[in-house]
């Protein structure tokens, strides 16, 4: 809905206020919005939500989509939330309130698993905190635009549901895939999700004419891919990636680092990364970048 003519906000702003029961999945919810490109703030006192309007009005701020989490961790300030929502609407900003809930058994189990204290019963029984919170949030639940029961949802399932039901075409469903080449002699990367060792392929390092080159040079590519070994490797590896990437997306993963390693990180790993990148370049569900960590160290 477009803001009224006398709105304080010159352009339409997409604002979600995420609230609900402690342990119902607010952290997973805000992660879904962040992955979709929203400006996100966790544990924001209600009165500060109104201050976001100042950010929206700043010349060149570029913030047109935001999501905030506010809940009973805000203490006494939380009681102001309904009033703040009304003030935002009067000013022409129409926030969508997403309320997350779950049944008592599920919430209790989640607190036991994480060994967290309930914010409304820090020194007492978790179940007492859950019931007290239900009383506190009753009016806000009635005010919510969307109520989601997360009792039977994993974190990944909740993120997918938010993306599908609330964000729809506004959300980017692409997997941010980084192909990282490295040399084992310089140490493996710590942030890799998948690591492939290609030191079994012919090594250009032992040819003086190829040693100064890199895996991006045609002569090196020809040497690494000579014979049947590389072709057989591609025949097995590329279909494996075609299988894995959609599976990671289905599980809710948004970022993946695929590391390709050889001895120095200059020749074989770079050649293989180039072949993988060309294979994946046409995929519409992948946002691809290639990083050669050690190519200058070789």
Residue 43 region, left (φ>0) first, then alpha (ψ -120 to 50), else beta? left
Return the pLDDT at 298. Answer: 58
Q: Identify whether residues 162 and 241 lie together within a single domain.
A: no
Q: Is residue 297 part of a domain?
A: no
CATH number for the domain including 32?
A: 3.40.50.300
Domain boundary among 170, 202, 228: 170
Return the pLDDT at 277. Answer: 95
Return the pLDDT at 222. Answer: 97
Q: Identify whether residues 93 and 232 lie together within a single domain.
A: no
Return the pLDDT at 65. Answer: 82
Tokens of residue 121, six digits: 């019963």
Containing structural domain, residue 280? 175-292
Q: Identify whether residues 70 and 181 lie together within a single domain.
A: no
* Total Cβ atoms within 10 A of residue 126: 21
One digit per residue, pLDDT tens: the chain, 298 residues? 444 433 444 445 688 999 999 889 998 999 888 888 888 988 888 878 877 766 766 666 667 788 999 887 756 556 678 888 888 877 777 889 999 999 988 988 888 776 677 777 766 788 888 888 888 888 889 889 999 999 988 888 888 888 878 886 545 557 888 999 999 999 988 888 999 999 999 999 999 999 999 999 999 999 999 989 999 999 999 999 999 998 887 776 778 899 999 999 999 999 999 999 999 998 888 888 899 999 887 5
Cα(231)–Cα(58) distance, integer angstroms? 55
- How many distinct structural domains can be found in the chain? 2
Q: How far is CA 263 from each of CA 15, 178, 216, 275, 296, rounded to the nearest angstrom?
A: 49, 20, 16, 18, 13
Give the closest residue to 73 by CA, choosing from 147, 135, 20, 139: 20
- The three state secondary structure string of the chain is CCCCCCCCCCCCCEEEEEEECCCCCHHHHHHHHHHCCCEEECCCCHHHHHHHHHHHHCCCCCCCEEEEECCHHHHHHHHHHHHHHHHHHHCCCCCEEEEEECCHHHHHHHHHHHCCCECCECCCCHHHHHHHHHHHCHHHHHHCCEEEECCCCCHHHHHHHHHHHHHHHHCCCCEEEEEEEEEHHHCCCCCCCEEEECCCCCCHHHCCCCCCCCCCCHHHHHHHCCCCHHHHHHHHHHHHHHHHHHHHHHCCCCEEEEEEEECCCCCHHHHHHHHHHHHHCCCCCEEEEEEECCCCCC
Task: Determine the angle formed by the axes of helices 268-280 and 229-250, rounding to 10 degrees.
Answer: 50
Q: Is residue 2 part of a domain?
A: no
Cα(2)–Cα(202) distance, integer angstroms? 62
Q: Residue 115: what are its φ and ψ, rounded to 5°?
A: 60, 30
Q: Is residue 6 part of a domain?
A: no
Q: Identify whether residues 196 and 124 lie together within a single domain.
A: no
Return the pLDDT at 168. Answer: 66
pTM for this model (two decimals): 0.57
Domain boundary among 170, 202, 230: 170
Task: List, for residues 170-183, the tens digit of each pLDDT value.
Answer: 455 578 889 999 99
Return the pLDDT at 166. Answer: 83
């Amino acid at each position: 809905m477009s803001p009224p003519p006398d709105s304080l906000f010159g352009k339409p702003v997409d604002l979600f206020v995420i609230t609900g029961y402690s342990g119902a999945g607010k952290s997973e919810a805000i992660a879904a919005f962040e992955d979709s490109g929203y400006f996100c703030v966790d544990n924001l006192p209600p009165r500060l939500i109104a201050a976001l309007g100042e950010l929206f009005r700043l010349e060149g701020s570029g913030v047109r989509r935001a999501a905030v989490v506010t809940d009973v961790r805000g203490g006494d300030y939380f009681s102001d939330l309904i009033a703040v929502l009304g003030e935002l609407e009067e000013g022409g900003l129409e926030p969508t309130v997403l309320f997350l809930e779950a049944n008592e058994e599920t919430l209790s189990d989640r607190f036991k698993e994480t060994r967290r204290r309930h914010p409304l019963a820090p020194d007492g029984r978790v179940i007492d905190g859950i019931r007290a919170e239900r009383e506190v949030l009753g009016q806000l639940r009635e005010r919510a635009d969307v109520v989601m029961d997360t009792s039977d949802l994993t974190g990944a399932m909740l993120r997918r549901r938010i993306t599908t039901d609330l964000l729809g075409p506004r959300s980017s469903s692409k997997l941010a895939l980084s192909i990282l080449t490295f040399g084992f002699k310089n140490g493996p990367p710590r942030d890799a999700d998948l690591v492939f060792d290609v030191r079994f392929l012919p090594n250009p390092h032992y040819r003086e004419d190829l040693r100064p080159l890199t895996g991006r040079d045609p002569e090196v590519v020809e040497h690494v891919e000579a014979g049947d070994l590389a072709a057989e490797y591609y025949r097995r590896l590329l279909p494996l990636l075609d299988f894995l990437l959609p599976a990671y997306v289905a599980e809710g993963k948004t970022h993946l680092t695929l590391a390709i390693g050889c001895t120095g990180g200059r020749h074989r790993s770079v050649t293989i990364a180039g072949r993988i990148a060309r294979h994946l370049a046409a995929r519409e569900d992948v946002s691809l970048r290639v990083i050669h960590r050690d190519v200058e160290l070789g």
